[in-house]
Amino acid sequence: MAFIDRNRPTPRILALAVILAYALLSLHVPFASASDHGKPELEITVRVNQKGFFDEKNKLLGPSHPLKLPAGKVVKLTFVFDEDINSLAIGDVHQIAVVSDGGFSVETEKLWLLHKKSSVTFEAGEHGRTRYRAYCTLDCIGMERLNNLAIEVVGHHD
């Protein structure tokens, strides 16, 4: 006769606990918010999926088609998890960093199926910065296409 310890959690309960813990850990305070720079003057949505970064008109963004921001404007960039429900990447998690050569760096919260949007807010061209780059910081499906979002500041005056 086998002894069954009813006080020991079953594998199913352990799996549910791990999923719940992961979901709770992904809900954290963003690294940058609108309060860091005042109210956004411009809001832009960038869709993120295994094929790359896309603008609101479904055009692929990258070095040959950079995202252009007006100098001196407080910009809120909202990154949206946009994986197709039939894609293997539907279970992926993305986290986007926006950086510049001048030492500026900000990251979104993690983007995934249950947390589809995250924003960063900053002043375009602040401290003379004219170029930024955005990329996924996590190992994900499509990572080779999520490393080249070029962001240019236009109308910049030195």
pLDDT, tens digit (0-9, with 9 covering 90-100), for 100-114? 987 899 999 999 888
The pLDDT of residue 78 is 98
Return the SS3 of 37.
Answer: coil
- pTM confidence score: 0.73
Of 15, 77, 19, 88, which Cα lies nearest the Cα of 51?
88
Alpha carbon distance 18, 13 (integer Å): 9
pLDDT of residue 102: 78
Distance (Å, rounded) from C-alpha 36 to C-alpha 40?
A: 10
Side-chain-side CA neighbours of 20 within 13 Å: the count stands at 6
Residues of the chain with pLDDT under 70: 1-38, 87-89, 156-158
Q: Is residue 18 helix, strand or coil?
A: helix
CA distance 114 to 20: 12
pLDDT value of residue 85: 74
Q: How far is CA 80 from CA 95, 97, 113, 114, in A?
A: 11, 14, 10, 11
The pLDDT of residue 135 is: 95
Give 57-73 pLDDT, tens digit per residue. Answer: 999 999 999 999 999 99
The Cα–Cα gap between 111 and 49 comes to 10
First-to-last alpha carbon distance for the chain, in angstroms, is: 83
The total number of residues shown for the chain amounts to 158
What is the percentage of the chain residues whose pLDDT exceeds 70? 72
Q: What is residue 25's predicted lDDT score, i.e. its pLDDT? A: 47
Domains and CATH numbers, the chain: 31-154 (2.60.40.420)
- Cα separation, 33 vs 153, whole angstroms: 20
pLDDT in tens, 30-43: 344 334 556 889 99
State residue 28's pLDDT score: 42
